[in-house]
A and B are shown apart, each in its own frame.
Chain A
Amino acid sequence: DARVTQTPRHKVTEMGQEVTMRCQPILGHNTVFWYRQTMMQGLELLAYFRNRAPLDDSGMPKDRFSAEMPDATLATLKIQPSEPRDSAVYFCASGLVSFLQETQYFGPGTRLLVL
């Protein structure tokens, strides 16, 4: 049963530290999404890759966040420097785009707490 995996599942860090979250999309999927979920804002799209190319990262604070796909099996989301307001659950999702349809499969999330 193919699944999206994310590491770490939990991360506690101090303000100013660098945080790197990793995602392994489902093999064969050609789209990868990064989302952030907080109680106040709900689910927000941060970045969207198709065939490893960034298509949309308008939802991501550019000054401290960066998202990359070094290869088809790994997507990373990096925060440097981290701030307490970055505390949230970060979800990665992968999908396969076909005509008019795209179903995303979400990973379990990385719960980040920045002190």
Chain B
Amino acid sequence: KNQVEQSPQSLIILEGKNCTLQCNYTVSPFSNLRWYKQDTGRGPVSLTIMTFSENTKSNGRYTATLDADTKQSSLHITASQLSDSASYICVVSAENAGNMLTFGGGTRLMVKP
């Protein structure tokens, strides 16, 4: 069964600190992995999308890593800002006719001043 597990479920950090969110998956065959940021009451916004051959991809202060061998991904946030407070969702796509998506439960991040 395809599954995506994210950890931690929630996280509180101080402004300016770094943090790392984890995503483990069992989706097969793997097509790509995406990280989304979802502000409260808003739709998810894509941060990165990574394919099998990509190990690291950055988007500003967000850096995603992918280890396709261990089926793990991380999202590292550098020098956190109050606006980073949101839910971060990991989504893995399977390589099939429908590109089936499997969603993680998300990590709720709160950045405090």
Contact = CB atoms under 8 A, between A and B. Distances in A.
Interface in B79-113: 89, 91, 93, 97-101, 103-106
Given A45-B101, A48-B98, A48-B99, A100 B43 contact: no
B42 interface: yes
A4 B44 CA distance: 12
A101 B99 contact: no
Interface in B13-42: 31-32, 42
Interface string A32-63: 00000000001111001000000110100000
Given A43-B103, A101-B32, A101-B51, A107 B98 contact: no
Interface residues of A, number: 21
Interface in A71-93: 91, 93
A70 to B, nearest CB: 21
A93 to B, nearest CB: 7
Nearest to A92: B43
Contact of B43 (A42, A45, A55, A109): A109
B91 to A, nearest CB: 8
Contact of A100 (B51, B89, B91, B101): B51
B12 interface: no
Nearest to A95: B46
B49 interface: yes
Interface of A: 4, 42-45, 48, 55-56, 58, 91, 93, 100-109
8 contacts: A42-B89, A45-B101, A45-B103, A56-B97, A101-B32, A102-B93, A106-B45, A107-B43
Given A42-B103, A102-B32, A107-B43, 8 more contacts: A42-B106, A43-B44, A48-B99, A56-B99, A93-B43, A100-B32, A103-B49, A106-B45
